[in-house]
Amino acid sequence: MTQHGPDTVDASLADLSDALGKAAEDFRLARTLLDRVRADLAARNTSVARSVVAGARAVIDHLRGADEALRDVVKALETRD
């Protein structure tokens, strides 16, 4: 079996599927928390540190990169011979 054989491909795709499932759950929980915090911030008219805003921007950029990479993988899988 070569390095790029079916077992390696299947294991990689299984790992990716597992990671996506975990990420989906993590994202749902994070979104619920963020919505709750946003409502609390609005109700109390409070602010957050600039480092939180910078961290949020970094996460957004990272997620965009991950989304592009995932899109590339999906496209490659759809166009395989």
Cβ neighbors of 47 (< 8 A, separation 6 or more) are: 41
User: pTM for this one?
Assistant: 0.77
Q: Residue 80: which pLDDT band, with cuts at 50, 70 and 90?
A: confident
Q: Specify the pLDDT at position 47.
A: 87
Average pLDDT, the chain: 92
Does the pLDDT at position 81 exceed 90? no
The closest of 35, 37, 57, 55 to 46, measured between CA atoms, is 37
Structure letter (DSSP) for residue 5: S
Average of pLDDT values for 10-31?
96
Give Dmax over CA atoms of the chain in angstroms.
Answer: 62
Average of pLDDT values for 36-64?
95
Residues 38-47 pLDDT 10s:
999 999 998 8
| Helix 50-78 × helix 6-44 angle, to 10° | 150
